[in-house]
Amino acid sequence: MSRDYPHEYRPVIRECFYWEEVPEGCLLYEEGDGRLVVLNPSAELVLTYCDGEHSLCEIKSELGGDERLTSDMIAEALERLIEARVVLGPVG
């Protein structure tokens, strides 16, 4: 399911979202259309590294020490964040 991303790709959250942490993960509110996206704790953790500074490899490296997250789980969470239009995907 995981796709290959260019080495230079650095995921970044779209600026139109506000987030609120809740015990089950976090809620993202999209400004403008009022869309609500609910993230589980794993996806929330991945999203915290989607700052335009970290590459997917760096995110995997940073989160690799967390036994709850495998490399595939991190890639899948990122893929779902892109599909949900929360994170900007690679250009091109």
Contact 22, 91 (CB under 8 A): no
DSSP H or E segment with residue 83: helix 71-83
What's the mean pLDDT when you consider all of the chain?
Answer: 87
> Residue 77: what pLDDT?
92
The continuous run of DSSP H or E covering 1 comes out as none
Q: What percentage of the chain reaches a pLDDT higher than 70? A: 96
CA distances from 28 to 32, 46, 90 (A): 13, 14, 21
**Domains defined for the chain, CATH in brackets:** 12-87 (3.90.930.60)
pLDDT category at 7 given cuts 50, 70, 90 is confident
| DSSP secondary structure of 39-78 | E-HHHHHHHTTTBTT--HHHHHHHHTT-TT--HHHHHHHH
43-83 pLDDT tens trace: 999 999 999 999 988 998 888 777 778 888 888 999 999 99
